[in-house]
Structure 1
Amino acid sequence: MQKAYLYQTRFGATPQSDGTIRFALWAPSCQTVSLEIEDAPPRPMTRDAEGVFTLTADCAFGARYRFRISEAQAVPDPASRSQPEGVHGPSVVTDPTSYEWHCRRWQGRPWEEAVIYELHAGLLGGFDGVRERLDELSALGITAIEIMPVNSFGGTRNWGYDGVLPYAPTQAYGDPDALKHLIDAAHAKGMMVILDVVYNHFGPDGNFLHDYAEDFFDHENNSTWGTGIAFARPQVADFFIDNVLYWLMEFRFDGVRIDAASAITDHAWFGKLRERVVATVEPGRHVHLILENENNDAELLRDGFTAQWNDDGHNVLHVMLTGETEGYYEMFAENPTATLARVLHEGFAYQGEINPYSGKKRGMPSGDLPASKFILFLQNHDQTGNRALGERLISLASPEALHAAYALLLLSPMTPMLFMGEEWGCTTPFLFFCDFHDELANAVREGRRKEFAKFSAFQDPEKRKTIPDPNALSTFDDSRPDREARATIEGRIWLDRTRSLLSLRKRHLIPRLPEAHSLDATIIGDKSVLARWKLTDGSILSIAINLSDHETCRITEPATLLYSSAVRRTVEELPPGSLVAGLELNA
């Protein structure tokens, strides 16, 4: 069995079999580039017709280096594996064999076993801090952790979506070997590890690509987040495909979640990625390609992508639980009960209809897809952190209705995802934070406040000043989940609830989930839906949920009661703010 893993990428500093290091940089805007390794004179690199500069050199692991692109400017490697001095410092030649893997027989887990836990490594104490949480998460029934982006970014704290060096784990969380240790430890406990990756833009601090590779960008397809990326160019496509394979093969991640896939304008890139992954990953190993995709592109899910974050499911449940209809929740304000029924029955709510928020068509039919293709959640970094004050759902919804929605999340055949702290009913806010300085810090702070000026609660300029400064250290500290709350009465109730629901899922549902499909979803009252799914063995799962605050619904008592969230109810009654789940076992 292998003790270490190495994936040979097209770009960056890659060890060769003879002990040398191959350096490669795509710099089509330059005619000359030199490699500067610490304590050694600059060495000219060879340019090919594509503008790829290469040089193979004797070089010790741990050596710092830069690329000299002009007399006045030297830049870090865009495919750097390590940036111990930050995104403006030199890159480091890493040794992929320095970490000896212990869980070498790990083959991953089939997707239907996934119970995902999204987390921010920086808030949990870095890679070592996350590793210390694995036992308690495993004991709850979590089978996969999803780590928000770890790529190097400007400063020492960030959500990670402002990264500029996608191959280099940020030193703020630990070195590359610490990340491998975390993944190795998770595998030893039977847990998958999924990584958020951001390929649709680069952050505003530390991105030097414009200075030597202007062809990397597509200025005709800019997005909300930044300058568009020219994925149709082979060098750009390879840069990001190699990045996925680098994480899967060298770090042994079990999958990646591609952020804002709708901003990747070359649709053909997704097929290229999947083909390369299938051709490269070892036979029998489970790896998962996950999308966050505003386009609701069901065809990608049919073509082999594992699953998609189901924003439609979250958004309609949020409207029903909170009554909020501003911003993108406007898309779900009209007849949310029917929308929830469609989500439970067909996966996506928008399947080609006009999105009233954007005025454009959104989505495509998805009703033929297995339920596990849709990742359902009540909270995540986006929908919590993009609120002005970062409130969690527990502070916005009634306890009874939230309990019912939480049971729906964990007992539905859709793939469930929790956000860190949700398992104990965490009330700590999760805020937008970063670590920029000077004019950039001012622009981010004021841009954040201006963003909320259209919301009724923040139309007063003085009120907008109460929105926390993203750059303040206190904003980061205030976002750290309060673990002491786990020991409170409410915390223990939530933990017991999470453990109980996930135990039911493991025992009764997971063995029956492969290819589970919806049968129907029926409106049974105000904010009330009855959904049924046919499971693999022919059993029927039924879930009746009532998110009304006043109306009791009539239901047929399930043949085998799986779970009821109601404190008191009579047979065939579904009280306000409650859920009943049952199984009709196949004889």
Structure 2
Amino acid sequence: MRSRHDMPFGASLAPGGGVNFRLWGPAARQVDLALDAGVGAPPRLVPAACDAQGWWECHVPEATAGTLYQWRIDGDLLVPDPASRQNPLGPLQPSCVVDPLQFEWDADWTGRPWSEVVLYELHVGAFTPEGTFAAAGERLEELASLGITALEVMPVAGFPGRFGWGYDGVLPFAPHAAYGTPDELKHFIQAAHRLGMMVFLDVVYNHFGPAGNYLGKYAPQFFSETHASPWGAAINFDGPGSRAVRDFFVHNALYWVQEYRIDGLRLDAVHAIVDASRPDILQEISQAVRTAARGRHVHLVLENENNHHERLSAQPRPGCYDGQWNDDFHHALHAVLTGETQGYYHDYGHEPLNLLARAMTHGMLFEPSERKPGGARRERREAPPQPLGTMVNFANNHDQTGNRALGERLGQLAPPGAGPLALLLSLLTPATPMLFFGDEFGADTPFRYFADWEGDLRDAVRKGRQREFGHMARAADGSPVELPDPCDAATFEASRPDPAHRRTPEGQRALALVQSALAMRRQHIAPRQSLLLAGHHTARRVGDSGLRVCWRYSDGQLMVLEVNLGAQPLHVAATAPALAGERELLRHAWPEGTAPDIWPAWAGRWVMGAPAV
């Protein structure tokens, strides 16, 4: 099976031969296609014609797959195609014509249902020493054997430089050249499919990066005149000229789903998207993807700092989303284990164990949830219960780890013995779980912010990080340490989990723990997701550090978690009656034969049964 997404811009092979080139440049006075003529030779120029809506186009009979080209704007500025499928030397160099139909896909893959999703977030550049799609593909079998069912790949849209997180991409349709070619990304996706794993892609529709973006020179309508973004000019989704802008991003979503057979999209920081249209751009993207994905499981996930649970649906519905990152769960768990209350942990410092309990039974905690500049929320109104399967829970991710001064993982910040339990709590609730790469073998390496900027931008980023995090850069004994330079390659290299750690006794124990937890989830939690009774789950405190959490199902069964999130054994005065037909699903750090009135330190046990009569 071969697949191509047809779109109204970019370069496309013409049915009768040659290539059609199309660019939206309503502010340009003259546009020429600049065909690469080889090293040292000036490009060959082909004039483009413009219509009344600002679309420039031309046909080049001799062009074919592999032809290199740029657009020349108003006689002097050479720019890449913003809809380029490939920029082999990066966004500052020529784009390349690609024939998507050269790649042969397996025809029998239709994905997996949302109830089976176990996400694994990874950064392609830091996942392996080689930092490529091809090298990452060689690691997939070990993830499938653990029980991972879906890879969540941090953004791969083309950006300048050798390394970066990917959230400052400027070519949304072109895989970052350092990671590999479009076909190599497709091979990676197909390799995952053959192992029964889906591939989700992180996409950024709230801004373009600060370097290599030329749209303002010839299509300023891409940027809003009335809205702002934390990262520069906001995208214009609701002002004059916004129809072409909306089409650009809708087609980007469809491009990944159709041409790359992507199984899911995670939309980054949608709280930074402002759109007064109805339907708004998020609804329009969902509707388009749902229509295009008929016959396949294709999932849509949001990151929304302001929560807005009304966009979520327990069933795939046009206009709605399957899941959302639940920062509230992470922040409450982090506050319980570390005692941190600064920044956005401010709202979780009072009774964090109670907040964690509510996050496990109700989902997101606060609604609405806008933040003040210091990180605290403007309001702390309690959110209503949400379908728990739509929550994506995690102990670590790129934001919560990388946006720290030194990039420590929760396992390095929590007390000894707490890290494995935190990981289990993120995996073994009815919420959809997500691991951050390296967590599966207890990696103790940091994940830091890194970006290969140059010149004034490099200086600005360095100073900004120092201003924001310099006072927080402390060693374990509290003494100040130098903040890692985000633009130094050493900072990027230090963010790679050490594969040798997998082979250590600690690494092997972590792998065994994750494998057993995901086996339990696969057998006892995933098949029962449709039976969850939303709004009927409960939790109660047990002593100073314990919780007894009950999740209820429509067939009368309960799944109960008893957990001690404390460094000392918990003496339980009175326990709940045993469940009828009780069966233990999993226990951690809870030895057989432990007295029933003792809950060990940093321990948990999961059981299932019916309420006792």
TM bucket normalised to smaller = over 0.9
Secondary structure at 1:305 match in 2: coil
- AA aligned to 1:12 is G
- Distance of 2:155 and 2:507 partners within structure 1: 28
- AA aligned to 1:528 is G
Name 1:581's counterpart in structure 2.
606
- Distance of 1:488 and 1:441 partners within structure 2: 38
Name 2:298's counterpart in structure 1.
287
CA contact (8 A) 2:308 2:368 kept: no
**Counterparts in 2 of 1:17 and 1:366: CA distance versus 1, 3 Å:** farther
**Counterparts in 2 of 1:188 and 1:310: CA distance versus 1, 3 Å:** same
1:456 Cα deviation after fit: 8.4
Cα deviation code 1:336-381 (max 9, x no counterpart): 12211221121001123775735534788441x3211000000001
1:277 Cα deviation after fit: 1.2
Name 1:100's counterpart in structure 2.
104
- Distance of 2:454 and 2:47 partners within structure 1: 35
Name 1:264's counterpart in structure 2.
273
1:524 Cα deviation after fit: 2.5
- Distance of 1:181 and 1:248 partners within structure 2: 15
User: Relative to structure 2, which stretch is displaced further, 20-29 or 325-334?
Assistant: 20-29
**Of 18, 23, 27, which residue of structure 2 is paired with 1:29?**
27
Name 1:251's counterpart in structure 2.
260
Name 1:439's counterpart in structure 2.
456
- Distance of 1:363 and 1:71 partners within structure 2: 56
Name 2:307's counterpart in structure 1.
296
1:396 Cα deviation after fit: 1.1
- Distance of 1:543 and 1:117 partners within structure 2: 24
**Of 91, 102, 114, which residue of structure 1 is paired with 2:117?**
114
Name 2:398's counterpart in structure 1.
381
Alignment of 1:66-81 (within 5 A): 66-81=70-85
- Where does the alignment leave 5 or more consecutive residues of structure 2 unmatched? 38-42, 314-318
- AA aligned to 2:302 is L
**Of 47, 52, 73, which residue of structure 1 is paired with 2:50?**
47
CA contact (8 A) 1:64 1:92 kept: yes
User: Relative to structure 2, which stretch is displaced further, 46-55 or 484-493?
Assistant: 46-55
Secondary structure at 2:486 match in 1: coil
**Counterparts in 2 of 1:366 and 1:28: CA distance versus 1, 3 Å:** farther
**Counterparts in 2 of 1:420 and 1:320: CA distance versus 1, 3 Å:** same
Q: CA RMSD for the aligned pairs?
A: 2.1
Residue 349 (structure 2) pairs with residue 333 (structure 1): yes
1:278 Cα deviation after fit: 1.9
CA contact (8 A) 2:307 2:369 kept: no
Runs of 4+ in 1 over 6 A off after TM superposition: none
- Distance of 2:376 and 2:339 partners within structure 1: 21
- Distance of 1:376 and 1:494 partners within structure 2: 19
User: Relative to structure 2, which stretch is displaced further, 64-73 or 256-265?
Assistant: 64-73
1:32 Cα deviation after fit: 2.2
**Of 61, 68, 72, which residue of structure 1 is paired with 2:65?**
61
1:93 Cα deviation after fit: 0.5
CA contact (8 A) 2:305 2:370 kept: no
- Distance of 1:181 and 1:586 partners within structure 2: 50
CA contact (8 A) 1:371 1:515 kept: no
- Distance of 1:55 and 1:363 partners within structure 2: 55
**Of 545, 548, 553, which residue of structure 1 is paired with 2:566?**
548
Residue 439 (structure 2) pairs with residue 422 (structure 1): yes
- AA aligned to 1:118 is E
Name 2:537's counterpart in structure 1.
519
1:53 Cα deviation after fit: 1.6
**Counterparts in 2 of 1:354 and 1:76: CA distance versus 1, 3 Å:** closer
CA contact (8 A) 1:296 1:362 kept: no
Secondary structure at 2:446 match in 1: coil
User: Relative to structure 2, which stretch is displaced further, 492-501 or 520-529?
Assistant: 520-529
Cα deviation code 1:398-456 (max 9, x no counterpart): 23322222222221110000001101100011111111112211111111111114648
Name 2:233's counterpart in structure 1.
227
Residue 189 (structure 2) pairs with residue 183 (structure 1): yes
Alignment of 1:415-494 (within 5 A): 415-453=432-470, 455=472, 457=474, 463=480, 466-494=482-510
> Kindly, what percent of the aligned residue pairs are identical?
42
- AA aligned to 1:269 is I
1:576 Cα deviation after fit: 3.0
Secondary structure at 1:146 match in 2: strand
Cα deviation code 1:120-139 (max 9, x no counterpart): 11112310111111110000
Name 1:130's counterpart in structure 2.
136
Residue 204 (structure 2) pairs with residue 198 (structure 1): yes
Cα deviation code 1:117-162 (max 9, x no counterpart): 1001111231011111111000000001110000111101011011
Name 2:316's counterpart in structure 1.
none
Give the structure-2-normalised TM-score: 0.90
- Distance of 2:522 and 2:381 partners within structure 1: 32
Secondary structure at 2:518 match in 1: helix
**Counterparts in 2 of 1:313 and 1:359: CA distance versus 1, 3 Å:** closer
1:242 Cα deviation after fit: 0.5
**Counterparts in 2 of 1:478 and 1:19: CA distance versus 1, 3 Å:** same
Name 2:426's counterpart in structure 1.
409
CA contact (8 A) 1:523 1:530 kept: yes
Name 1:345's counterpart in structure 2.
361
**Counterparts in 2 of 1:130 and 1:553: CA distance versus 1, 3 Å:** farther
Secondary structure at 1:485 match in 2: helix
User: Relative to structure 2, which stretch is displaced further, 231-240 or 267-276?
Assistant: 267-276
Secondary structure at 1:97 match in 2: helix
- AA aligned to 1:244 is A
User: Relative to structure 2, which stretch is displaced further, 424-433 or 406-415?
Assistant: 406-415
CA contact (8 A) 2:531 2:555 kept: no
Name 2:40's counterpart in structure 1.
none
**Of 289, 305, 315, which residue of structure 2 is paired with 1:277?**
289
- AA aligned to 1:579 is G
Secondary structure at 2:170 match in 1: strand
Cα deviation code 1:194-241 (max 9, x no counterpart): 000011111111111111111111143222222111012111111111
**Counterparts in 2 of 1:515 and 1:127: CA distance versus 1, 3 Å:** farther
Give the structure-1-normalised TM-score: 0.94
**Of 513, 525, 548, which residue of structure 2 is paired with 1:530?**
548
- Where does the alignment leave 5 or more consecutive residues of structure 1 unmatched? none
- Distance of 1:502 and 1:389 partners within structure 2: 30
1:572 Cα deviation after fit: 4.5
Name 2:11's counterpart in structure 1.
13
Secondary structure at 1:452 match in 2: helix
